[in-house]
Structure 1
Amino acid sequence: MEQPLPKSWSIHTRPEIIAKYEILERVGSGAYSDVYRARRLSDDLTVALKEVHDYQSAFREIEALQMLQNCPNIVVLHEYFWREDEDAVLVLEFLRTDLSAVIRDAKKKEGGVGVGEIKRWMLQILCGVDACHRNMIVHRDLKPGNLLVSDDGVLKLADFGQAKILMEPGFDGVNDNLPIEQNMGYQENVTPPLDVVPDAHNLSDRGFNKEDTNREEYLRQLAELKAKRHAVDEIDKETITNDEYSSCLATGTISDIDDDPLKSSYSYEAEEGGDDRNGALTSCVGTRWFRAPELLYGSTDYGLEVDLWSLGCIFSELLTLEPLFPGISDIDQLGRIINVLGNLTEEVWPSCSKLPDYKIISFAKIENPIGLEACLPNRSPDEISIVKRLVCYNPATRATAMELLNDKYFDEEPLPLPVSELHVPLTKNGHDEDSPGGWNDYDDMGSDSDFGDFGHYKVETTGSGFSIQFS
C-alpha cells in the first residue's frame, strides 16, 4: 500500500503548485516567508511565489490583497494555495526592484533624484496608501523595501503580512482571526465587492477623484472607528489580564523582573508582531526606522495614522537619500525623534501621557531641538512642509494621503515626470531588507539591550513598576 506523502514545508514538493508553476530561484527570505521567482506554465508569465510560514501573516495578506484588487499601486495577488497542515503560498505579480534600490542607485549619481521624479514616486506611494486607507486597511510596515517597482516604473505597495483591516461590514473586533476558506478558489478574475474597491477605470492620474470623500467625512468615519475599537478594547481588558503584546518597550513590574530591571533585554528583534487573538492591536509592528512614536511608546489604540508617519520618513529619505531616524534600538529611535521634534508633551499632543510607556520612559528636556528643516537641507519650503505635516507627534494632525494628493506641490513646476521616464535600477540589493534595525548601513551592533547604545540613564522604582530616564 502506498504511503501518504509527509507533511510538506517545502514549496518544491507540493504537487498542486508544481503542476502549474516552474520554480526558478529563491529571490528573498525572512523569518516569516520565502519568495521565489517562478514561471506560470499556462502562459509563461513570470510570477513571485511567496511561501508564508506564519498563519496570521498569510491570513492578513490574502485578506488585504483581495480587498485591494484592481488598485493600480497595490501588488497583484493572482491566486493562492492553502490547505490544512501546509504553509500558504501566494502567487503575486513579480516586480524586480523596489524604492530602496532607487534610493541606493541615486546616491551613486551626481544630482541624486530630480524633483519631477521625486514627485512621481511620491504620487504613486500616496495612491497606494490612499487605496488602503479608503478600505480602512492600515499597512503597518511601510518602508522603501516594501514599495516594489516594475520595469516600466510603476510603484506598488507590497508585503501586507502585518496589515490590519480596522473596520468592515460586520466587524466586531473579536473574531478577527477566524480561518478564511482554505481552498484554491481565489483567482485573479474574481470581482471584489464594489463597496470596498475603487473603480480602477475612474482613477485620475493621482488615483482618485478630488470630489470624493472630504476630510470631514473621513475624520467622522475615523472617529466612529476609534469609538468602536475602544469599546471592544474595554471588553478585552476585562477578560485579558496580561497582554504580552501591550508594549514593545521596557514595561514590567518589580515582581516580573526581580530587583534589577536591566537584567532583562527589552530590545525585540522580531519586527513582525502578532495582534492579540481577541482582535486587539499590538504596538510591535513595522520596521523601527519608520515606526510612529505612539508605537514606540507602546500604544495599542492606534489607527491609519501610523502609516502616515512612515510616509513622512519615506518622503524625507527620497529627498535626502538618507534615513530620517536610523535608530539602532527602540530607545535610540525615540531619542533621535525627540532631538529633532523636541520632547513629547501634552502641549504638542494632548493625552499623550496616556500612552502605556509614557510614564515609564522619559528623556531630559531638549531646549533646542534641531527641527525637521535641519534634516532636509537644500529642500524647498513646500517639500519641508509635506514632511512636517506627516512627521508630527499628534496623530490627529497628520495629513491624510488624500489631502497630500491634492497638495499644490504636485501642480507646480517642475511637474511630476511621466511614469515611463522614471529611472528604474536593474536589480535590488541582495541584503535582507527585513532584518530588524539592519537596513542600509545600520544594525543592532550586537546589543542585547535597548539601553546599551543610548548613553546615561537613571532607573527609579515606582508604586507599580519602574521608570527610566535618559539623558
Structure 2
Amino acid sequence: MDPPTKSWSIHTRPEITTKYSIFTHIGSGTYSDVYSGRRLSDGTPVALKEIHDHQSASREITALRILRGSENVVFMHEFFWREDEDAVIVLEFLKSDLGTVIRDGFGGGEVKGWMMQIVSGVYDCHRNGIVHRDLKPENFLVSENGVLKIADFGQARILVKSGFDATNHGSSSHSQHPHDVIPLSDNANQTGYENQDEEERMTHDEYFRVLDELKIQSHTYDTDDKDTNTHDGNNSCRATCTTSDDDDDAWKNSLPYEANEERDEKLDGFLTSCVGTRWFRAPELLYGSTNYGLEVDLWSLGCVFAELLTLKPLFPGTGDIDQISRIISVLGNLDEEAWSGCSKLPDYARISFNKVENPIGLDACMPNCLQDEVSLVKRLLCYDPAQRATAAELLHDKYFSEEQLPVPISQLRVPST
C-alpha cells in the first residue's frame, strides 16, 4: 500500500511556525517526517514529528497523553491536529538511543542501570493498559544525562481508559475507544513503584485473568481497528522517531511488517498479528495470533535484554519462517507440551518443522553471561505467554537488588550522538 500523498508542508503552518523554529529534516518513515527545531519562547530543543496516518497519530497522541507523567517515556510538549491536516507532535529532543549504547558497549553495572529504566518504562505502559507492540533498542531513547525513554507509540494499543493499574487487582476498568482523546488522570501520572505493598502485587493467574478481560473488552469496542501496519521502518532512532538512510543496511532485516490489508479487513476488531519488528516479535504473533495483550511486550523485552547482555541480536531472522526456526532451534519445539493451547494458533497447522532433538538453549546463546542474567531472560522468553514475568515482577526481581548493583543514572555513559 502506497503512503498517502502529502498535501502540505510543516513549514506552511503558522500555528506551528509562530511557536517553533524548524531547522532540518532529520528522518522519514512510511507515514512520518521528523524535523529538528527549537521553541521560540525559551530556546528548548524539540523534535517535530509530522504523521501522515490518522490511526498512527491517534495512537501515539493518546498514549503519550496518558503516560505524560512517566520519567521513562518520551515527553510530548504539545500537538497540532486539525480535521483536514496531518498531526504534528512536538517531542523532547534526545540525541541517542539504546541501539547506539549497545554498539558502543558498557560494563556490568551499567547494563542493570539501563535494564532498570527499561522495565520502569514498560511498567508504566502496562499499568495503564497500554501495549507498545514494537519494543526494540532503537525505540528506547537516551537523554544526555542518561535517562532512558520509550518512544514511538504509533503501533501502540490502549486496552483500557487512563488510570487503570494492571498491578492492582482491585482496580475496575472500562474499555474506551483508542481514537478518543483520553484526559489525563491523577493515577496516570503516578510512576513510582517503591511503595507498592507486598499484598497488592498480583499473582500470575490474577494478572493474566485481568489481561484476558481487557482483551475481551478491547475486541468489543475496537471494531474499526484494521491495523494496516504500513508503519515507519526503524522509526524512532535518536529521539526523532525516525531512522536515517545510514542505518538501512544494518537494520534491513528487522523492519516492521506491512500487513496484508485485505486480511486485516476481516479481523473485525481483533488485534492484528502483523505488528512489531521481526527480531523482537513474540511466537504467537509469528503464528498469526490476534488474541494477545501486554505479554507480547514481555517477549520483546527478553530479546532486548539478551541483546544488552551479549551485544548482538538473539534471533536475527531474515523472514517469518526463518524467525520461527531460529526461536525453535534455541528454545525447542513449540508443541502442546511446551505451551498448552499453542495448536489453536491460526497458522500453527500451516507451519511445521522437523523435531529438534537437542535445542541450543539460551545458556549457549549467552556464554559469557552470569547465570542470574540468563535466568532473567528465560523468565521472559517463554512460549506460554502466561508464564512470562510481568514488568511489575521484574521491578522487584532480586537481580536488581544484588551485587553488582545498577549504576546510578548520572554515571551511565551516554554516546555523544
Assess if the C-alpha contact under 8 Å between 1:177 and 1:279 holds in 2.
Answer: no
Mapped partners of 2:194, 2:205: distance in 1: 18
For 2:398, give the aligned amino acid.
Answer: K
Of 140, 151, 176, the residue aligned with 2:144 is: 151
1:303-331, CA deviations, whole angstroms, 9 ceiling, x for partnerless residues?
A: 10100000000000011100000001011
Q: Which residue does 1:465 correspond to in 2? A: none
Q: Which residue does 2:270 correspond to in 1? A: 280
Mapped partners of 1:244, 1:55: distance in 2: 11
Q: What TM-score comes out, normalization by structure 2 length?
A: 0.83
Q: Which residue does 2:98 correspond to in 1? A: 99
For 1:384, give the aligned amino acid.
Answer: V
Q: CA deviation at 1:244?
A: 9.0
**1:282–1:98: structure 2 CA closer, same or farther, 3 Å change rule?**
same
Question: 1:207-356 alignment to 2 at 5 Å?
Answer: 207-211=193-197, 214-216=200-202, 219-220=205-206, 222-227=208-213, 229-230=215-216, 233=219, 271=257, 279-356=269-346
Matched residues, percent identical?
60
Mapped partners of 1:196, 1:222: distance in 2: 21
Question: 1:45-56 alignment to 2 at 5 Å?
Answer: 45-56=44-55
Out of 278-287 and 82-91, give the one that drifted further: 278-287
Q: CA deviation at 1:226?
A: 1.4
1:195-228, CA deviations, whole angstroms, 9 ceiling, x for partnerless residues?
A: 3331x5xx3xxx5434277443675354144145
Q: CA deviation at 1:176?
A: 3.9
For 1:399, give the aligned amino acid.
Answer: A
For 1:134, give the aligned amino acid.
Answer: R
1:11-41, CA deviations, whole angstroms, 9 ceiling, x for partnerless residues?
A: 1111111111101112221112111110000
For 2:186, give the aligned amino acid.
Answer: L
Assess if the C-alpha contact under 8 Å between 2:254 and 2:279 holds in 1.
Answer: no
For 1:63, give the aligned amino acid.
Answer: T
Larger Rg: 1
For 1:132, give the aligned amino acid.
Answer: C
Question: Does 2:355 correspond to 1:380?
Answer: no
Q: Which structure shows the bigger proportion of residues in helix conformation?
A: 2
For 1:209, give the aligned amino acid.
Answer: N
Q: Which residue does 1:22 correspond to in 2? A: 21
Q: Secondary structure of the equivalent of 1:359?
A: helix
1:407-459, CA deviations, whole angstroms, 9 ceiling, x for partnerless residues?
A: 111112221111111111111xxxxxxxxxxxxxxxxxxxxxxxxxxxxxxxx
Aligned residues: 374
**1:233–1:72: structure 2 CA closer, same or farther, 3 Å change rule?**
closer
Q: Which residue does 2:63 correspond to in 1? A: 64
Mapped partners of 2:373, 2:322: distance in 1: 26
Mapped partners of 1:166, 1:293: distance in 2: 21
Mapped partners of 1:412, 1:127: distance in 2: 18
RMSD: 2.8
For 1:51, give the aligned amino acid.
Answer: E
Mapped partners of 1:132, 1:290: distance in 2: 18
Question: 1:23-38 alignment to 2 at 5 Å?
Answer: 23-38=22-37
Question: 1:51-130 alignment to 2 at 5 Å?
Answer: 51-106=50-105, 113-130=106-123
For 1:26, give the aligned amino acid.
Answer: H
Q: What TM-score comes out, normalization by structure 1 length?
A: 0.74
Q: Which residue does 1:453 correspond to in 2? A: none
For 1:15, give the aligned amino acid.
Answer: P
Mapped partners of 1:47, 1:342: distance in 2: 46
Mapped partners of 1:303, 1:67: distance in 2: 18
1:19-75, CA deviations, whole angstroms, 9 ceiling, x for partnerless residues?
A: 111011122211121111100000000011011111101000010111111111011
Q: Which residue does 1:193 correspond to in 2? A: 185
Assess if the C-alpha contact under 8 Å between 2:255 and 2:278 holds in 1.
Answer: no
Mapped partners of 2:258, 2:128: distance in 1: 22
Q: Secondary structure of the equivalent of 1:322?
A: coil
Question: Does 2:130 correspond to 1:137?
Answer: yes
Assess if the C-alpha contact under 8 Å between 1:245 and 1:283 holds in 2.
Answer: no
Q: CA deviation at 1:297?
A: 0.4
Structure 1: gaps spanning 5 or more residues: 1-6, 107-112, 182-190, 247-266, 428-471
Q: Which residue does 1:407 correspond to in 2? A: 397
**1:10–1:104: structure 2 CA closer, same or farther, 3 Å change rule?**
same
Mapped partners of 2:256, 2:382: distance in 1: 26
Out of 307-316 and 408-417, give the one that drifted further: 408-417
Assess if the C-alpha contact under 8 Å between 1:176 and 1:278 holds in 2.
Answer: no
Mapped partners of 2:200, 2:282: distance in 1: 25
For 1:332, give the aligned amino acid.
Answer: D
Mapped partners of 1:70, 1:408: distance in 2: 27
Mapped partners of 1:425, 1:139: distance in 2: 25
